[in-house]
Structure 1
Amino acid sequence: MSANLLLRIAVAIILLTHSVFGMFNNGIHDFGNLFLNQIGFAPYGVFLAWSIKLSHVVAAVLLLANKYIKLAGFITIFVLIMGIILVHFKEGWFVVGGGRNGVEYNFLLIIVFLAIMYPNGIIINQKSNS
């Protein structure tokens, strides 16, 4: 089993668990109403919250199917960066321990997505020697 496959499975599990439970325990609705609407997204907070969580579910399925990995990655990375900006940055670095609800979890997921999307590394500028 390749490292890329292991990362895809692990991230898919994280995205699914982070999304699906909120669909059944009112968490998505609460996030939309009690947070997103309060920070300026009213009246679209619930719609936005559902869009975010459904994008996570779709990304998880695509990761498991090994299809459209870069598209799923770019969309999810955008969501994670917005989460850092709007939710986590003000809480600091640590998710637990030295703080609460910080950026470290999103940061790690972004790096893992980049590793999945670019398993051979990112080539910035490759010049030809011809």
Structure 2
Amino acid sequence: MIQQWYKTNPANLNRGMDMVRIGVALIILMHPLHGYTHIENIPRFGEFLTSLGYPFGTSLAWLVLLLQTACSLALLANRLVVPACLGHIVVICFGLIHVHAQYGWYVVGPGQGGMEWGFILLSSLLGVMWAYWPEKR
């Protein structure tokens, strides 16, 4: 019988979720890696955070870089997945609110620098977190 690919259920949910988990981790990991290779930008990021009213801007900037690194490495190692997703979700939400919201929805096309890509990352992280959320027994 010919398999009807458009009517089938996922053959291996774990493989698909692993691809999303690893892909998101690698995408987000690029931010702190860029920060580590361009150390001169971290105080500027700190000044931006201070201008938003956050105390200890440069320390907070370092905390964001370290949190993104730790959360991405945890996702890559498939360890502490739920807390790692939560850490990334917090950082992405602050980025959406303070940076991307002013540019509207689109990243490219009708607009530029908007929230579209952040929502894709949030959706992916929420899906991964939900898949790894402990079941009640």
Which TM bucket (shorter chain)? 0.7 to 0.9
Per the TM alignment, residue 100 of structure 1 is displaced from its structure 2 partner at its CA by: 2.3
In structure 2, runs of 5+ residues without a counterpart are 1-13
Q: Map Cα deviations across residues 59-116 of structure 1 (whole Å, 9 max, x no partner).
A: 1111011111111111211111111111111111112222222111111111000111
Match of 1:73 among 78, 85, 88: 85
Match of 1:109 among 104, 112, 121: 121
Match of 1:10 among 23, 28, 40: 23
In structure 1, runs of 5+ residues without a counterpart are 124-130
Task: Give the TM-score of the pair, scaled to structure 2.
Answer: 0.78
Partner AA of 1:90 in structure 2: Q
Match of 2:99 among 79, 83, 87: 87
Q: Which structure's CA Rg is the greater one?
A: 2
Question: 1:37 & 1:81 partners in 2: Cα distance?
Answer: 18
Question: 2:46 & 2:58 partners in 1: Cα distance?
Answer: 4
**Could you tell me the percent identity over the aligned residues?**
35
Q: Check whether the contact 2:81–2:132 (CA below 8 A) recurs between aligned residues.
A: no
Task: Name the Cα RMSD after superposition.
Answer: 2.1
Task: Give the TM-score of the pair, scaled to structure 1.
Answer: 0.82
State the aligned residue count: 120
Q: Check whether the contact 2:82–2:132 (CA below 8 A) recurs between aligned residues.
A: no
Question: 1:80 & 1:21 partners in 2: Cα distance?
Answer: 16
